A and B are shown apart, each in its own frame.
Chain A
Amino acid sequence: MINNVFTIKNLNLFYGKYQALHSINLDIERNKVTALIGPSGCGKSTFLRCLNRMNDLIDSCQIDGEVLYHNDNVYNRNFDVISLRTKVGMVFQKPNPFPMTIYDNIAYGPRCQGIKDKTELNKIVEKSLKNSALWEEVKDRLKDSAMSLSGGQQQRLCIARAIAMEPEVILMDEPTSALDPIATMKIEELINDLKQNYAIVIVTHSMQQAARISDNTAFFHLGELVEYDKTDIIFTTPKEVKTEEYITGRFG
């Protein structure tokens, strides 16, 4: 129990009248990569966005059930969303660096939290870029626009930007779907390194990717969590017929 960062209990989510998630129960473990797989529209991205309350931005979205982050329900009325998001970072499907310099992109989060000291910011930027395996490529051009980087570099920059907040969990929403195979490989290696320090939850459409990098895998279908287990069990001896059909490519 102590190793869980998130415990989700009986989570239901509605977009207006449409129910997108049906009573989800799931634990996210520390220092593990948890992959969320399933066909399009199965609710895996919606579920991911519940963990840092990004669904708040959608007006018609209603939630009941509990998302416990270290035993605090993040959907409690007086829960501090800002501090949740500093502890639970997010990387999006499309690389979305801000139209600023590389340095300013990384320093953005810390600056928003009120860190102004130059040497401290320099340290954060260097550490984050090193941890996201981007330092060697950009150390001489920190003042260049982040838009001048390649797609793969931009996505690693977005990971570095999330790391700069020193979060506990990193959520990744199909982080490699817009990248070529080589950039994808680099990101996967990076995820493998990062799990020593962070819990990672990754939504992916590629079952090979889930098999390669994750420790636990959750299979979603039509807004329900069909099966959740160790990745090698899911991919070798799944308990549910639906799971087997999906991973063997018979539907989805």
Chain B
Amino acid sequence: MSMSSKRKRIDNLLQIITYGAASVAVIILSLIVVFVFKNGSGLINLDLITNDYHAQYYNGGIENVTSFSNTPKPNILTEEDYYSLKWGIALTDDIDREGKPIIIVSYIAEDSPLYQMYDKNNLDNDSFAIEVENIVQSIKFYDKDSTLSIYGAQHMINELDAESEFREMVFTSLGGGIRGSLITTLYTIGLTLLFALPVGIFTAIYLNEFAKKNRLTNIIRSMIEMLTGVPSIIFGLMGLAVFVPLTVRYTPADSANILSGSLTLAVILLPVIIRSTEESLKVVPDDFRFASLALGANSTQTTFKVVLPSALPGIMTATLLAIGRIIGESAALIFAIGTAIKDDISIFGKSTTLAVHIWSLLTDEPANIELASTISLIILMIVLILNISVKLLSRSYLKRV
């Protein structure tokens, strides 16, 4: 009797530990998601994804204004929008993605004389025009002090309204977008998989299907296992020491670039892909191999016509995990791909992935946690979409066979 009650207590304790551990794991994971969501959801919009990171600077000049605007302040504008009837422009105070105060153009009337502005830097630029959502930095006048964005929108409108000409208006596009880093991430995923998947899959096939089970293959296998545990920053050093000089020498690149980053990531991913492909080849029943061989197929035909197709769902899962690694990797890429945030992306040029973009934002002074969270949210969504699509793909594949 006392034995069974003791047994019962131990069982209860074990159950409590199991449930406790599971709850801790779930709580930590949801806390991360909640934190990222709370901080990041405010900034998320399509502009962030499609915009350039670096703002374009424009210097507009205007001379001999012949006709002024007479459009009254539209109803859609609020108290916060300061409007100049004469110039047909509304300005409003805002803060940018870095948290600094800025003045944004919230409305321009169709008959605004500001459309007569010309590009002072390039007189041939016919498409030059100020647009809604541009940021006005300063307006310089002929006979009085300039008005700057730090004085606020109201001051700027009052100063402008009092004049009928000005020397120069400096305005910029919005900037702060992550289009460049997003494209770099996509390029990096594509290139890395291009390098890592064929090498990894064929190595796994060699190890599992063709290699004799001897000491040499065992050594190779344990070396591969060991590589999965090496910190990625060490691979980053290798990328800097090997792939960056290689790409500089044989391609138009002149420093760390997407190609060198992808090659480094491919090396990081190789052991992961080899291991998981080998695992999925191992679970293919030997019955299939025997049936194929007994039909007079050779071992190559057996491997590529029967074994590999059966292992495909497992290989797809491995690929998904690999993509997750590529999107999330930052330590190695700081060396191997660089930290320069760019808008014009070339495989041989400097640029940076979303993960390194986050790293840059967090090492800025002050750290931009909001934007970093927004980018994290975007990364989470990309991973989620990939996850679901791979699940659907392998499900439809399994249904077919």
List the interface of chain B (C-beta within 8 A of A): 213, 285, 287-288, 290-298, 301, 305-306, 309-310, 400-401
Q: Which of A108-123 contact B (CB under 8 A)?
A: 108-109, 112-113
* Chain A residues within an 8 Å CB radius of B298: 82, 112
Q: Which residue of A lies closest to B284 (CB)?
A: A99
Partner of B291, one of A52, A92, A145, A147: A92
Q: Which residue of A lies closest to B287 (CB)?
A: A96
Residue A165, interface by CB 8 Å: yes
Residue A57, interface by CB 8 Å: yes
In the bound assembly, the distance between CA atoms of A178 and B309 in angstroms comes to 26
> In the complex the two chains form, is B287's CB within 8 Å of A85's CB?
no
> In the complex the two chains form, is B293's CB within 8 Å of A158's CB?
no
Partner of A109, one of B287, B295, B400: B295
* Chain A residues within an 8 Å CB radius of B293: 54, 57, 85
* Chain A residues within an 8 Å CB radius of B290: 54, 57, 92, 96
> In the complex the two chains form, is B401's CB within 8 Å of A147's CB?
yes
Query: Would you give 14 A-B contacts (Cβ < 8 Å), ordered by A?
Result: A54-B293, A57-B293, A85-B294, A85-B295, A92-B294, A94-B287, A96-B285, A97-B291, A98-B292, A112-B295, A112-B301, A145-B401, A158-B291, A165-B296
Binary flags per residue of A48-91, CB closer than 8 Å to B gives 1, else 0 = 00001010010100000000000000000000001101100110
Residue A162, interface by CB 8 Å: yes
* Contact A162/B295 with A57-B290, A99-B309, A99-B310 known, Cβ cut-off 8 Å: yes
Minimum CB–CB distance from B73 to chain A (whole Å) comes to 69
> In the complex the two chains form, is A99's CB within 8 Å of B297's CB?
no
- Most chain B CB within a 10 A radius of its CB, from A57, A94, A112, A158: A112
In the bound assembly, the distance between CA atoms of A86 and B294 in angstroms comes to 8
* Chain A residues within an 8 Å CB radius of B296: 82-83, 85-86, 109, 112-113, 165
- Most chain B CB within a 10 A radius of its CB, from A83, A85, A97: A85
Binary flags per residue of A143-170, CB closer than 8 Å to B gives 1, else 0 = 0010100000000001001100100000
In the bound assembly, the distance between CA atoms of A57 and B288 in angstroms comes to 13
In the bound assembly, the distance between CA atoms of A167 and B392 in angstroms comes to 42
* Chain B residues within an 8 Å CB radius of A99: 288, 309-310, 401
Partner of B400, one of A57, A108, A145, A161: A145
